[in-house]
Amino acid sequence: MGNTISYDQKPYDLDLGNKGTIRGIQLDEKSRRYAGIPYALPPTGDNRWRKPRQLPADYAYEDGTGGPFDATEFKAVSPRRPSMSEKLREAPDNTARIASLSISGHP
């Protein structure tokens, strides 16, 4: 068992003026978390595997309907090669198994 910390979490909106609003989480009186905020355009099409492209100057953080951008949870990670530990976790169980064998016959 590990240590756990329990916070009374509540949404907290950060107004960025003409850049929109980001909704994060207020964890306690002094701590807020904003997760999954885009810093660049998505690496799609010809831009796949290239350096990140800056967000346009007129980019605004919102949910598509004019509401605040949801930064309360982390988003999906970028594609990458699996690490060795991930490969081992996905490998079949290679633990030894004991077989029971009975042979009947003449002495």
Q: pLDDT digits over 41-77, tens only?
A: 988 899 988 999 999 999 999 999 999 999 999 988 7
Q: What is the pLDDT of residue 93?
A: 62
Residue 19 is classified by DSSP as G
Q: Is the pLDDT of residue 106 over 80?
A: no
> So what's the pLDDT on residue 77?
75
Count of Cβ atoms closer than 10 Å to residue 68 Cβ: 20
Size (the chain), residues: 107
CB-based contacts of 32: which residues, under 8 Å, 6+ apart?
Answer: 12, 14, 24, 25, 26
